Structure 1
Amino acid sequence: MAKEKRWRPAAALAAGALVAAGLTAIPGTAHAAVACDVDFGADEWGDGSGGFTGEVVLTNLGDPLDDWTLSFDLPGDAQLVQGWNADWEQDGQEVSAHGPSWNSLDTGEQATLGFNGTGYAGDPDEFFVNGTLCGDDPGTTAPEVSIASPADGAEFTAPADVTVEAEASSEDGEIDRVEFYLDGSLAGDDTTAPYSFLHEDLSEGTYVLGVQAVDDQDQTAEDEITIEVADDGDPDVVATPDQVSVVEGSTASYGVSLTEEPDGEVTVTTEHTSGGSGIDVVEGDVLTFTSGNWDEPQDVVLAADEGSAGESAEFTSDAPGHTPASVTANALPDDGEVDPEWVDRFMEQYEKIHDSGYFSSHGIPYHSIETLIVEAPDYGHVTTSEAFSFWLWMEANYGRITEDWEPFNEAWETMETYIIPGSDDQPSAGVDGDAIYAAEHPQPSMYPSALDSDVPVGEDPLRDELEATHGTGEIYGMHWLLDVDNTYGYGHCGDGTTSPSYINTFQRGEQESVWETVPHPSCETFDFGGEQGFLDLFVEDPDGGATQWRYTNAPDADARAVQAAYWALTWAREQGNESAIASTVADAATMGDYLRYSLFDKYFKEIGECVGATECPAGSGRSSAHYLLSWYYSWGGSYPGDEWSWRIGSSHNHFGYQNPMSAYAMVNEPALQTESPTFVDDWEESLERTLEFYLWLQSDTGAIAGGATNSWGGHYGEPEPMDDGSPRPTFYGMYYDEHPVYEDPGSNEWFGMQVWSLQRAAEYLYLTGDERAQQVLDRWVPWAMSETEIGEGGDFAIPATLDWSGYPDTWDENGDPLEHTNPNLTVEVTDTGQDVGVAAAYARTLMWYAAATGDTEAQEMSRDLLEALYEHRDEQGIAVEEEREDYSRFLDVHDEPAGSEAGVFIPEGWQGVMGNGEEIEPGVTFLDLRSFYLDDPDIDQVLDYASGETDDPPTFEYHRSWAQMDIANAFADYAHLFPDD
């Protein structure tokens, strides 16, 4: 059974909402000129009571407003019951909402207000602010769009080429583009009128064709139709495979056959129909099929000219009365270093990823094609920094194969544009300041956590150096979570509309699972949530909360991006194309410079037996460095003014995040180094510490245990003894933790952590032959292979869930690292599965190890895993059915039954509203905060299971971006590591 993804970059826990001591929101200045616009929406409750919820989005178009009152008349006999984000009252039918002091509105800013009422009789006609009638903002009228052709319900015959023509206009601006969608997935766009797009080669079925007009203010309008494509009744020409690689100066072939037995002879003709002229048909351009051989493939042979490497061409095999088949051929360089079959599979997977709805209209990779998916992100069309890093790695492999490096550069540019916060997103980053301590707690119900300025924090050893090197106080690192389509409605810094939008979730301790989070904006302007936005769900500030921004970095994603840049540079250099990616590689070096924040304790306290928040000494210099890639680093500051900022590292270190390859790359590749004077020294020490960490945590059977923390419980607590009463072992004075960072589920249960980290170690071994990495993998590989079964026809089972017992011995810093053993540390595989992303990473681990050591059994198993994966291919990639028992938690309520910690915890008396209008109050469920799931086509099976109407868990076939991209990477790796397989 496939398991829920167990990785999740946690936010900075309580620290994500830290504010500087004594600083509060800056009051504005009163102005007289009032101009405004109001959007109103009402949602009737549907229970026959006449109750309804109203949402009012007020946009200030005039001078800044410190003191404002919005008023309007409720139609009929409607009555106000309660409201939020303003002080509400009703006199007759006139309702007024007085903005509180924290909700001042600068020019262009919005306030989102809400209320509950009874007796709904329609929407108000007019709205007034301070007595001035609000009108349409001349710059915010939404565009209009409609599909001119084809008509709704139009019918076509397969294979159908359908051109969609759209008409779009904007009353007060310009149309930036019209996007065209096929069954909800972006297919392309057009930036000039008349707007049109061709959907090619549609097979039999029902299709929803959609369009979305986007104006120059990022406002949108949509239209859609449904068409039917009927089977033409003709038999098909079949071409296998549909992607072929041809080494320049040589030939390759694909097979052609028919789907039905013909009455007489059928002639299939193959022609070059598009693409590079350096590839052409040399044999089999005319083939004859009869009733005796119609289903026996005959070869079409293609040849690639010398010097044609990098070209791509399409060939069509056609016959009278038959549906034709197309094949894409790619010319490869004649370097004797690649297996064309696996290159073909890489290209096949690569094309599917780029053509199947994995990317948004902005070019951002979604977490998955499917929307109903709950794991680290709680919605499929949000995304993570992990997805970006795997995308970069895939584009690096594409550049290696095709010598086209523009997609790699474009992927990095998209990452920089959308998930690395820019200057506007971190406006006060250059202002010096320290974080204020807030303890982490075991349960969400123990939050908010009190800020305590009496707890000493250490000095930041990097801030001055980084600012001197880069000339800015801003940080160049990815925030881990992005609401790509602005589903939660926060927009950019409270504007409510901008997409994508920076959001965050996990901030309340090790037991807060994805089922218990409250998604909230990373730019906290108090436009949403309660009186202090969402801050007082996480921290208790004696001085009151202050508007602010804050971001959290997942270090393993940034390290993976650096790793991808290293390989891109290596391969481009071999081609003589180093200059093509020089600028991108320099950006990767900058990312690696800031990534060093993850190498330090959360509050820069000294490393080693750090017990007692007050007693544990503040660090200076490198005394606060543990030199491991910890679970996060975070940074934040005041908004909108330049008042204060803060930065923190993390005390929690999971082995699964470690990346010796990226450390090696930054130590040994000058192009991946910056001018920061301590850059190389820090990464040299990190590389050494990482290899020791593996050796310390390796069980007697070979699997790697969890990690270590410098802050037990997240509050520098007294560490718990082991189950047998023995003292908790340490690594450089940091305490062993079976499941660092989170416990629901345990962070080292998921086998994916094993292969994510050790794949990097295997690459490192391949390059260096380091005996420490060799020993780790020599022990790990036989264990993993012994727990793996591969059958026929795509049947395979790999470890899924691990159960740990015992403990490692305390690390001897002065001893021989290769002599360290852990006889008291054991692991059991309690469940196996077919997680396709984990299987790809596992196969990559085995193949890099095999390439480094010559282990033929590891090579064979890696190939067999890839063959098994390939059997599960579909039109969007590679997927297997997954059963999701955890979806029973959609309807969990906190403390129901009494004493239960499951469900979303909201403190008694706390009330607020999310950007999409969802009410937040005690007793809400996961689904209550995400009612958009009620419109998802897959929701019924989930609700039937969660409500107990059925005992059968819902099943899905998921296409996660990171998993599909790593499958492509696995195909490319095998093609290059074993060209003569």
Structure 2
Amino acid sequence: MPGALATALVAALLPATPAAAAVACSVEYNVTNEWGSGFTADVSVTNEGDAVPDWSLGWTFPDGQQITNGWNGEFSQSGDTVTVNHPGWNPDLDPGETATVGFQGSISGANGEPTGFTVNGVDCGGTGGNAPPEVELTSPADGAAFLAGDTVELAADAADADGSIEHVEFSADGTVLGTDDTAPYTYSWTDAEVGPYSLTATAVDDGGAETESAPVAIEVLSAPALVASPSSLSVRQGDSGTFDVSLSNEPSGDVSVEVARTEGSEDLTVSGGAELTFTGDDWDEAQEVSIASADNGGDLGTAVFTASAEGYDAATVEVREVDASTSDYETAFLEQYEKIKDPASGYFREFGGLLVPYHSVETLIVEAPDHGHATTSEAFSYYLWLEAAYGRITGEWEPFNDAWESMEEFIIPGTEDQPTNGAYDPSAPATYIPEHDTPQGYPSALDNGVSVGEDPLAQELSSTYGTDEVYGMHWLLDVDNTYGYGFCGDGTDDAPAFVNTFQRGSQESVWETVPHPSCETFDHGGENGFLDLFTDDGTYSEQWRYTNAPDADARAVQVAYLAHQWAGEQGNAGAVSESVDKAAMMGDYLRYAMYDKYFKEIGDCVGATECAAGSGKNSAHYLMSWYYAWGGALESAQYPWAWRIGGSSSHQGYQNPLAAYALSEVDALEPDSATGTEDWATSMDRQLEFLQWLQSAEGGIAGGATNSWAGDYSAPPAGTPQFYGMYYDWQPVWHDPPSNRWFGFQVWGIERVAQLYHETGDERAGAILDDWVPWAMANTEVGTGGDFAVPADMEWEGRPDTWDGTSTGNPDLHVEVVSHGQDVGVAAGLAKTLLYYAAESGDAEARAMGEDLLDALLANQDELGIATEETRADYRRFADEVYIPEGWSGEMPNGDPVEPGSTFASIRSFYEDDPAWPEVQEYLDGGEVPTFTYHRFWAQVDIATAFAAHDELFG
């Protein structure tokens, strides 16, 4: 029933009590499209009564409809009953507010309208049931420190509006310490060992409902210590700066502290607070130390200042002079840089003097990486960017070169990681394996009957660089060896380990993945390791395989170009020349991302057997695809072999015309191969055309295109628009959630266009920005006191016109921003885009909004960086089942069984030991949606480089 409309209206006024607010709502259900076996629909719920916190919408399907994917909420379905939990950006429905969710579903006959709409599990006019209790951990204070042997006194306030408190549990890192069933609720912890702890209190009411308090962080020390904050400081030459000193614990008497320079430049001196005294009354009140820089116009210096006291562990602060003309935003960059690089912050792990960035400081976080202490090639590219910006400001380029060395050492597979490339046959790059829509279609059988094209790059690259190896990053690294696979899957080394997750079709979300080693030795998993979860083959061999994320490698090239430019302006291009040379080589290999997956001809490629095998470069689309990959047998195999594949699908957010410009127009970055420069010149033009083709009538950039519809060269729907013979796809590659729904992909891609525009004045880039910038600004708000709202989720309608070399404006392609949020990384990327555009175009409004966003970010500072709270309703999916075929069984390295019925959490039982797990467990048990504050490495670097960009562009 296309366009069918059902409206459920209930208006019930209940007595207002603290236990449950009056529930009154209206629900509108609208089928927006329907075809033979499926349909899409929108559901809008309007709050007609009091505010509804943590809203959840439910209904019942009458005809067995099944939801296949949804947006603007977290969907789950049991039989005919559907539950949609609010998205993280919109937890509460205010009076009069309307929230709209959408979904795609499957049908096998009738498609009747749902019935029984509910809010928060009850009818709209219902009572709301038992209200959960309230609880707050009032002691100890957040950040408190204790000495080993001290008693830690815990106390909590708890109340229940519609009943009574049964008891309160006190926990440390999720382990219950004790309970109290009588107010005031207290517990004395007498045997705390040395280390950091996260303390919580959980109140349980007489109806069985329970609530966990916000956590309080404490630390138990082996000895008292002095505390200095921050641990590093930048001071304008001729000016002064301050840091704070305090005691970790209450002293038994007065404590005299001396602060003195212990090494470094004599131009930096203690100008105040050289002698401090702490008493039992003020020991926890920080006292200020002032550091003065000599106004002598000499060379900029650094020094280390040490706070010391008898019986206390000392604290040190590194102080650096910066030029007196340093802008406020440059100072903001240096402060953010110092937080990121401070070892105490936890953004990096050190291996042999080299730093490896984590995905986030926090460990419990599930996104594309499924653990916070994994890392990605994306993070390494941002690490390079951080150090390049630092080099521009300070003239110090060793940290940039160290970042490239770390990338080369840890996330670019070395000789021992890819040992059998010499067996690779470019005339037969790989055996065809069709992709499937869902994980249930796997393992997928190899098909030797489908012809594949020739690889035109391999011989050119091996002759140019004297090796058969590939110089590109693998996308995912287990930094702490959390899974336990270790080097080459042997499980014996705690050094970073190459791992992989996504392997089973476009509908496989991170919540449905099985983490596995990139080096498959059959030591873990099942009889064939994990291979037979993905491919169906007669025999299986021990092997290695790596997947490249082209946007990360392209960003590394982009940053190397910026470092080359900035160092050159300082007359010091030689300081980065070796790293820049390696970036040019990386760009040479990155051309694999320009090719169809199986090197088939580009254009009208329909039918795996009918689509012609490519020869020469007619299998190149010259765009940045979603991936390229390579692999081969381990040296222990009886017969060595190797393979390589390109990527048939290209996403707008992966394009990087600035990197293409650098690799085709900048001498220092032109690849050494015979055709690399020419290919990148073609790619630069093709990428800009691609973005013009995908630009909607409003200005947003639609998804992308593919040369292999559905991943198996199927025929696309009739009339699908084309770009150089490739087919338009509004959500290329990744469908859960749709890959072009997140506004961050808009910013990541268009920021590079803005930088290209600033660097070259390219009119095509300027034209794209002229439409994109006003649309983005119209959907962005910046308030006061750190309030801001940037686009979060988008919905797409219609399609572009087939590309004929000239933009039509795409009157039938439309985008709507359907939600907003406070993603600090996206806000920083948007600010950079606006500033680069303003610097070239002179657009004063774009510059003003860019600066307003920077100021809003500065107002959200904390001790680790800049962050805002996030609700994670998607964490309900910790309980999602991971598809495992019937009859398959195996084990993770820690013994977690992998079998039919396994869930995301059950094969990652280590999460149960995470300090943040109790909040997730409570949510899974029916509690409130958990709220976290995350410090993602890429986002913190995006913020730092946004400050640096303003300094670069406007001083």
Per the TM superposition, whether the score is higher than 0.5 is yes
Q: Does 1:874 align with 2:862?
A: yes
Q: What is the CA deviation profile of residues 622-641 of structure 1, one whole-angstrom value per residue up to 9, with x for unaligned ones?
A: 10000011000000111124
Alpha carbons 1:270, 1:315 under 8 Å: kept: no
Query: How does 1:20-35 map onto structure 2 within 5 Å?
Result: none
Equivalent of 1:306 in 297, 300, 305: 297
What residue in structure 1 maps to residue 685 of structure 2? 688
What residue in structure 2 maps to residue 520 of structure 1? 516
Q: Does 1:824 align with 2:812?
A: yes
Shift of 1:439: 0.5
Shift of 1:296: 15
What residue in structure 2 maps to residue 480 of structure 1? 475
Alpha-carbon distance in structure 1 between the residues aligned to 2:632 and 2:684: 32
What residue in structure 2 maps to residue 421 of structure 1? 413
Equivalent of 1:532 in 523, 528, 541: 528
Alpha-carbon distance in structure 2 between the residues aligned to 1:239 and 1:486: 31
Amino acid at match of 1:667: S
Shift of 1:274: 4.9
Matched residue SS, 2:460: helix
Q: Does 1:885 align with 2:885?
A: no
**Count of paired positions:** 725
Matched residue SS, 1:452: coil
Equivalent of 1:963 in 939, 942, 949: 939
Amino acid at match of 2:883: F
Amino acid at match of 2:944: A
Alpha-carbon distance in structure 2 between the residues aligned to 1:660 and 1:245: 38
Alpha carbons 1:278, 1:305 under 8 Å: kept: no
Q: Does 1:551 align with 2:546?
A: yes
Matched residue SS, 2:487: coil
Alpha-carbon distance in structure 2 between the residues aligned to 1:404 and 1:576: 12
What residue in structure 1 maps to residue 675 of structure 2? 678
Matched residue SS, 1:476: coil
Alpha carbons 2:231, 2:342 under 8 Å: kept: no
Shift of 1:731: 0.7
Alpha carbons 2:232, 2:338 under 8 Å: kept: no
Equivalent of 1:739 in 715, 731, 739: 731
Equivalent of 2:349 in 336, 360, 365: 360
Matched residue SS, 1:736: strand
What residue in structure 1 maps to residue 653 of structure 2? 656
Shift of 1:866: 1.4
Alpha-carbon distance in structure 2 between the residues aligned to 1:535 and 1:361: 32
What residue in structure 2 maps to residue 852 of structure 1? 840
Matched residue SS, 2:455: coil
Q: Does 1:713 align with 2:728?
A: no
Q: Does 1:252 align with 2:230?
A: no
Query: How does 1:763-778 map onto structure 2 within 5 Å?
Result: 763-778=755-770
Q: TM-score, normalized by length of structure 2?
A: 0.71
What residue in structure 2 maps to residue 31 of structure 1? none
Q: What is the CA deviation profile of residues 787-821 of structure 1, one whole-angstrom value per residue up to 9, with x for unaligned ones?
A: 111111111111011111111111003xxx3x431
Alpha carbons 2:333, 2:945 under 8 Å: kept: no
Shift of 1:833: 0.6
What residue in structure 1 maps to residue 588 of structure 2? 593
The percent of aligned pairs where both chains have the same amino acid is 54
Equivalent of 2:800 in 808, 817, 820: 808
Q: Does 1:922 align with 2:900?
A: yes
Alpha-carbon distance in structure 1 between the residues aligned to 2:740 and 2:365: 21
Alpha carbons 1:421, 1:479 under 8 Å: kept: yes
Alpha-carbon distance in structure 2 between the residues aligned to 1:318 and 1:905: 58
Q: Does 1:330 align with 2:320?
A: yes
Amino acid at match of 2:773: V
Matched residue SS, 2:421: coil
Shift of 1:155: 7.2
Matched residue SS, 1:503: strand
Matched residue SS, 2:544: strand
Change (3 A) 1:577 1:285: farther
RMSD value, Cα: 3.5
Q: What is the CA deviation profile of residues 825-845 of structure 1, one whole-angstrom value per residue up to 9, with x for unaligned ones?
A: 111111111111111111111
What residue in structure 2 maps to residue 170 of structure 1? none
Shift of 1:679: 0.7
Alpha carbons 2:263, 2:305 under 8 Å: kept: no
Matched residue SS, 1:873: coil
What residue in structure 1 maps to residue 337 of structure 2? 349
Equivalent of 1:441 in 429, 436, 442: 436
Alpha-carbon distance in structure 2 between the residues aligned to 1:841 and 1:521: 33
Alpha carbons 2:329, 2:948 under 8 Å: kept: no
Change (3 A) 1:777 1:324: farther
Alpha-carbon distance in structure 2 between the residues aligned to 1:240 and 1:853: 39
Shift of 1:332: 3.7
Alpha carbons 1:366, 1:961 under 8 Å: kept: yes
Amino acid at match of 1:658: Q
Alpha carbons 1:155, 1:228 under 8 Å: kept: no
Shift of 1:342: 2.6
Matched residue SS, 1:832: strand
Q: Does 1:937 align with 2:918?
A: no
Shift of 1:618: 0.6
Equivalent of 1:505 in 484, 487, 501: 501
Change (3 A) 1:256 1:560: closer
Alpha-carbon distance in structure 1 between the residues aligned to 2:314 and 2:849: 37
Alpha-carbon distance in structure 2 between the residues aligned to 1:533 and 1:354: 40
Alpha-carbon distance in structure 1 between the residues aligned to 2:765 and 2:558: 17
Q: What is the CA deviation profile of residues 833-864 of structure 1, one whole-angstrom value per residue up to 9, with x for unaligned ones?
A: 11111111111111111111121211121111
Amino acid at match of 1:829: V
Amino acid at match of 1:464: Q
Query: How does 1:9-28 map onto structure 2 within 5 Å?
Result: none
Shift of 1:377: 0.7
Amino acid at match of 2:672: E
Matched residue SS, 2:817: strand
Matched residue SS, 1:407: helix
Alpha-carbon distance in structure 1 between the residues aligned to 2:935 and 2:243: 30
Alpha-carbon distance in structure 1 between the residues aligned to 2:234 and 2:532: 58
Consecutive unaligned residues in structure 1, runs of 5 or more: 1-149, 157-182, 184-204, 211-223, 260-267, 289-293, 722-726, 893-902
Equivalent of 1:471 in 466, 469, 482: 466
Shift of 1:612: 0.4
Q: What is the CA deviation profile of residues 139-198 of structure 1, one whole-angstrom value per residue up to 9, with x for unaligned ones?
A: xxxxxxxxxxx9981679xxxxxxxxxxxxxxxxxxxxxxxxxx9xxxxxxxxxxxxxxx
Alpha-carbon distance in structure 2 between the residues aligned to 1:695 and 1:718: 25
Change (3 A) 1:673 1:430: farther
Alpha-carbon distance in structure 2 between the residues aligned to 1:937 and 1:324: 29
What residue in structure 2 maps to residue 895 of structure 1? none
Change (3 A) 1:239 1:617: closer
What residue in structure 2 maps to residue 575 of structure 1? 570
Change (3 A) 1:379 1:282: closer
Alpha-carbon distance in structure 1 between the residues aligned to 2:242 and 2:630: 57
What residue in structure 2 maps to residue 797 of structure 1? 789
Alpha-carbon distance in structure 2 between the residues aligned to 1:810 and 1:369: 45
Alpha-carbon distance in structure 1 between the residues aligned to 2:749 and 2:651: 10
Alpha carbons 1:244, 1:341 under 8 Å: kept: no
Q: What is the CA deviation profile of residues 712-771 of structure 1, one whole-angstrom value per residue up to 9, with x for unaligned ones?
A: 0000111124xxxxx111111111101111110000011100111111111100011111
Matched residue SS, 2:604: coil
Q: Does 1:398 align with 2:390?
A: yes
Shift of 1:331: 3.2
Matched residue SS, 1:634: strand
Change (3 A) 1:565 1:206: farther
Alpha carbons 2:703, 2:730 under 8 Å: kept: yes
Alpha-carbon distance in structure 2 between the residues aligned to 1:741 and 1:420: 24
Alpha carbons 2:548, 2:627 under 8 Å: kept: yes
Consecutive unaligned residues in structure 2, runs of 5 or more: 1-144, 152-172, 174-191, 198-217, 247-255, 277-284
Alpha carbons 1:278, 1:308 under 8 Å: kept: no
Change (3 A) 1:484 1:244: closer
